[in-house]
Chain A
């Protein structure tokens, strides 16, 4: 089972460059999420999509945009990369059925360095 697939695995950008991180899940989940992971700060939510056609800001949305292309795919775009965006980015998904607190399923991450 593929689960949640992220591409690329590694990326180096120069300040001001743009790029899109891709994420796809094959579990038919409704909700998808983008997190960034920084040393000592755990995971912080950037954006999420509760269902196809909707997106909402998380804790640290500035400098990012997202697109929920369809139920499977949720992309994260950096329009003008900054060194502060150097981080490991994780995509996650989960099924939401009523009030049931289903767990998140994570991809393996994209390590981004902005010089």
Chain B
């Protein structure tokens, strides 16, 4: 079946530090990959997505590249801000009308 594995958090960084949150997946075929972000007290919001190998999704300074050879979709940002503090979820869609989520990684950015 499909599965998504994320690095466990929390990840604590100082403002302007470089961020990487690792995500690897297991799936047959060619899934689409997503990063969602959840701010405190809210539902998840789509952050970025990539639908085929070597695609790079980007939004709000975040980037992730779909690497089929390593089955990875790591999230990166060059300079984090306090407002980026949230929980980040990696997810994949691979037919069947269902999205499979990773366990989530909490990011805390200190001023």
Contacts and interface: CB of A to CB of B under 8 A. Distances in A.
Interface of A: 4, 31, 33, 35, 40-45, 48, 50, 56, 58, 90, 92, 96, 101, 103-104, 106-109
Secondary structure call for the B interface: strand
Given A58-B98, A101-B32, A43 B89 contact: yes
Contact of B102 (A42, A58, A96): A42
A48 B98 CA distance: 8
Contacts of A40: 8, 103-104
B43 A42 contact: no
A43 B49 CA distance: 18
Contact of A96 (B42, B44, B97): B97
B66 interface: no
Given A104-B99, A109-B42, 13 more contacts: A33-B99, A40-B8, A41-B103, A43-B44, A43-B101, A45-B98, A48-B97, A92-B43, A101-B32, A101-B49, A101-B51, A108-B42, A109-B43
B100 to A, nearest CB: 8
A107 B43 contact: yes
B38 to A, nearest CB: 8
